Structure 1
Amino acid sequence: MKKLIRLYIDSYRGLSTEAWLLAVVMLINRTGSMVIPFLSMYMSSALDFTKPQVGMVLGCFGLGSVCGSWLGGWLTDRFGNYRVQASSLLFTVPIFLVLPYFKTFESLAAMVFVLTLIADTFRPANSVSVARYAKPENLTKAYSLNRMAVNLGFSIGPALAGFLATFSYDWIFYGNAIAALCAAVVFIIVFKGRKPRNHTEPLLKADRQRAEGDRNAYTDTPFIIFNIFCCLFSMAFFQLLSTLPLFYKEAKMMSEGQIGILLGFSGFCIVVFEMLLVHAVEHRFTARQVMIYGTGIAGIAYLMLNAPYGIPWLYVSMFILSIGEMLTLPFTATISASRATTNTQGAYMGFNALAFSAANIFSPYLGTYVAEHYGYQMLWFGTAAVMLFTSIGFAWILKKM
C-alpha cells in the first residue's frame, strides 16, 4: 500500500499550480457534460427522430466542432488563449438554455451546429494554455491531469443526467448551462492577468509574418497524415457517445440511469488510473509504442461487445476501452504541441482538435447507418477493424515523425 501511495504522489509531482487550476476549471465545466451522452437517446425517445436523423444531427455536432476547432486555433494565435476560453464558456450558456425549445429536425440540427461551433473554440485555446503554463518536462502529465479533470466531470455528469432524464430531458440542458457559467466565472477570476510560464504575446497584425523556422500546421505533411489517423481513431472511439448508448438501451435493455452510471464508470476509471498509467509508461516506452498499444486495446474493447454476456461484461469492456483511451489520447496532444513552434501552437493544437472533431461529422451517421441496416454486431466488428488499421498507421507515421 505504501508503494502504491508513493507511486500516486510521484505521478503528480512537478505539476505547476496553473496546471491544477486549469484542471479545476475543466472539472467544473465537464461536470455539466449531460447533453452530449444523452443527445442520441433524447432525439430517439423524446423527439421520435429516426436513426438516420439522429446520425445527421450528430453529424452537425461534428461539423460545428470542426469549424470551432479551426476557429479556436486561429483566434488563439491572434487574441490569446485567455480571451478565447472565457468567451467560449460564456457564450455557450444561453444556447444550452434555449436548446430544449428547438424540437424539429432542421432547427435542432442548426442549433447543435451553433452550440459546438462556439463551445469547441475552447479546446485548442485550452490546449495551448496547458502548454504555456506547464513545465516542459511534465507536458504529458499536464495534459493527462487536464484529461483526468475532464473524465472526473464526465463520470459525474452522465450519472447526474441519467437521474435528471427520468424527470425531464430538459433538465440536462439547464444543468449543462449552469456548469458552463460556473466554469466561466472561476476561470475569469483565477486567470485574468495571470502570466504564463512560457509567455508570448498574441501576434499583432504587423507581426504576423511567420518567423523563420516556423512550420505551417496545414502544410506539414507528416503532421497531416498523423491527424488523418487521429481522425480514424476518433471515428471508431466516439461510438462511445453516439451508438453505444443506443446499443445499451436497445440491445441490452438498460435504463437511462443504468446507462448514465456505465458511461460515468469510464470517467471514474480514467480519474483513478490515467496519471498512474502515464507515469508508468512515458519514460519506459516511446510515444509511438504507447499509441500503437492503446489503439489496439481500444479495438479489443469494442470487439468484446459482440460477446453474449450481461451487464458485468459491459463494465469489463468499458474498463478496457478506458485503458486504450488513456494510452492514446494524452500522447496525441503531446505530439502536436511538441511539433509546433511558439508562434504556431494555436494552429497545431487547433488542427489536432479539428481531426477529432471531423470524425464527429461522419462517425455518428456511419455508426447509426450500420446499426440500422446491418446490426450492432457488424458495427462492433467494423469498429475493431478500424482500430487495428489505425494502430498500424500510427506505427508507420510516428516512425517518420
Structure 2
Amino acid sequence: MFKIRQSFEQYRGLPREIYILFIGRIINCLGSFVGPLMTLILTQKFGMSSAESGSFIALQSCLQGIGLVIGGKMVDSFGRKKVIVVCQSLGAVLIILCGIIPISMLTAKMMIASSCLYSMAFTAYDALQADVTNTKNRKVSYSLLYMGINIGFAIGPIIGGFLYKNYISLVFIGDAVTTIISMVLVMVLIKEKTIYKSTIENEEENKMEERNELEDNVEGSVFKILMSRPILLVFCMIMFFRNFTYAEWPFALPLQLGKIYGSDGASMFALLGAVNGTIVIIGTPFLMKLTKKFSELMNICLGNFIYVISFFMFGCIGSMPLFIMAVSLMTFGEIIGAANSSAFISNNSPASHRGRLNSTLSIIIMSGGALSPMIIGNIIEKYGLMPGYTLAAASALLAVVLGIIAEKIAKNRMIIRNSATI
C-alpha cells in the first residue's frame, strides 16, 4: 500500500496548469468518437470501399501534416492559446455541422477540414505544456498527461461504439462538445507565458524558473536550429524507428490472431487492446517512479530494448497467455518511452521555436508509423509473419543503438559546457 501511495505522490506539487491540462485531456479523449470510428463511418455510412477509405485516410494524414507545419508557425508567431481557441473552435463547429446535416461527401470534406484544424492546435498544446513545466518536473508532468489521454481513450470509444449504430449525429456532436469544454478550461484557467524571456523586465521572473539554457529564445530558422543541435536529428531517427516498430502491433497482430483463432481473432485482439490500455493506466505511475532518476534517452533506450524482446516474441508464440505476456511487456516499453520522448524534445528546444520544432519533428517521427504497414505488409505477404516481426524487432534494436550514441553526445556536450563555465 505504501508503494502505491508513493508512486502517486510524485504527482503532487506539479504546476497548477498541468492538472488543468490533465482534466482537459480526459474530457477531450472521453469524447474522441470520430477518430476511432473513422473507418467504419467511411465504409458503412458513406459506402466507401476499403481501398477508397484507405485513400481517404491517407489524404487526411497528409493534410494533417501540412496543418502541423502551419500550426507550428502560428504558435510561435501568435501565441499558444490563440491558436488553440481559434483552431479548435472552428474544428468543433465543423464537426457539429457533420452531425446536423445529412451525411454526404460534404460531411467527409468537413471531417478532413476539422482534423486539419485540430492538428494545428496539437502543436500549441505541446508548446503550452512545455512552457508551464521545467527540466525537473517535465517527465512526471508529461506522464500524468499521457495517463489522462489513456483514461479518456479507455472509455471514449466504448461510448462512441454504443452511439454509432442508432445515434450517429451524437457521435459528431459529442466529439465537438467535449473538445469545446476542454478548450474552455485552457482558455479560462491557464495563463500563457513565454519562458526565459531576455527582456530586463522579466529578469526576476526568470530567476525563479528552473533554468535550462537550451530553452532560451534564439533567432533563426528551424533548419538553422536543427543544424546547431544535431542531437535532435539523431533523436528523430530514434523515434522514427521506434514508431516503425510500434505500428506493427495493431497491423500484424490482428492478422496473426485471425490465422490462429479464425473468426474469434477480432475479439482476441480487442482483449489484448484492453490489456494494453489497462496496463498504461495502472502502470504509468509505478514505471515513472522506477525510471525517474535516469535520463530521458536512457529510458527511451530501455523502452526500445523491451520492444526488441516483445516483438520478437510475437513471431514465436501462438497461445493467448503468451500473447498477453508479450503485449504486457510491449506496453511497459510504450509507457517508458512516451513521457520521456516528449520531455526530451522540450528540454532541447528553444521556447521561441517550440511550435515549429514540434511540428517538424512530429512529421518525421510519425512517418515511421506511416511507412511500417506498407513495408512490413509486403514482407508478411511474401515471406510470412516471422520475418515481419523480425524486421520490427531489428528496427527497435537500431533505435537502441542510436539512443546509446545520442546519450554519449549529450554527456560530451554537458562536459564541454561545464568546462566552459569554469
State TM-score, norm by structure 1: 0.80
Show the counterpart of 2:420: none
From 389, 396, 410, give the equivalent of 1:387: 396
149-158 vs 264-273, greater mean Cα deviation: 264-273
Partner secondary structure for residue 148 of structure 2: helix
Partner secondary structure for residue 337 of structure 2: helix
1:368: Cα distance to partner?
A: 4.9
Show the counterpart of 1:279: 289
Contact 2:27 2:181 in 1 (8 A): yes
Show the counterpart of 2:417: none
Structure 2 residue identity aligned to 1:146: L
Residues 53-72 of structure 1 mapped to structure 2, 5 A cutoff:
53=52, 55-72=54-71
Residues 17-28 of structure 1 mapped to structure 2, 5 A cutoff:
17-28=16-27
CA distance in 2, matches of 1:391, 1:331: 14
CA distance in 2, matches of 1:272, 1:157: 18
Residues 295-306 of structure 1 mapped to structure 2, 5 A cutoff:
295-306=304-315
Show the counterpart of 2:280: 270
What percent of counterpart residues are identical? 18
Structure 2 residue identity aligned to 1:123: F
Show the counterpart of 1:91: 90
1:359 aligns with 2:372: no
1:153 aligns with 2:152: yes
Distance 1:79 1:265, change over 3 A: farther
Partner secondary structure for residue 15 of structure 1: coil
Structure 2 residue identity aligned to 1:293: L
Larger radius of gyration: 2
Contact 2:222 2:356 in 1 (8 A): no
Structure 2 residue identity aligned to 1:269: I
Structure 2 residue identity aligned to 1:49: S
Residues 2-401 of structure 1 mapped to structure 2, 5 A cutoff:
2-9=2-9, 11-40=10-39, 47=47, 49-50=49-50, 53=52, 55-97=54-96, 98=98, 101=103, 113-165=112-164, 172-191=171-190, 194-196=191-193, 198=195, 210-211=218-219, 216-219=224-227, 220-240=229-249, 252=261, 253-254=263-264, 262-283=272-293, 285-366=294-375, 368-370=377-379, 376-401=385-410
Distance 1:344 1:325, change over 3 A: same
Structure 1 residue identity aligned to 2:235: F
Structure 2 residue identity aligned to 1:184: M
Distance 1:356 1:30, change over 3 A: farther
Partner secondary structure for residue 120 of structure 1: helix
Distance 1:195 1:126, change over 3 A: closer
Contact 2:160 2:171 in 1 (8 A): yes
Could you report, residue by residue, the CA deviation over 1:108-134 in whole angstroms, capped at 9, with x for unpaired residues? 5x6665344222222221121112112
CA distance in 2, matches of 1:164, 1:311: 31
Structure 2 residue identity aligned to 1:77: D
Contact 2:218 2:350 in 1 (8 A): no
Structure 2 residue identity aligned to 1:271: I
State TM-score, norm by structure 2: 0.77
Structure 1 residue identity aligned to 2:12: R
CA distance in 1, matches of 2:195, 2:402: 33
Contact 1:85 1:122 in 2 (8 A): yes
Structure 2 residue identity aligned to 1:2: F
CA distance in 1, matches of 2:172, 2:259: 24
Partner secondary structure for residue 140 of structure 1: helix
300-309 vs 82-91, greater mean Cα deviation: 300-309
Contact 1:298 1:387 in 2 (8 A): yes
Distance 1:197 1:70, change over 3 A: closer
Show the counterpart of 2:214: none
1:272: Cα distance to partner?
A: 1.7
1:48: Cα distance to partner?
A: 6.0
CA distance in 1, matches of 2:17, 2:29: 18
Contact 2:71 2:359 in 1 (8 A): yes
1:256: Cα distance to partner?
A: 6.7
Show the counterpart of 1:206: none
Show the counterpart of 1:205: none
CA RMSD of aligned residues (A): 3.7
CA distance in 2, matches of 1:149, 1:317: 24
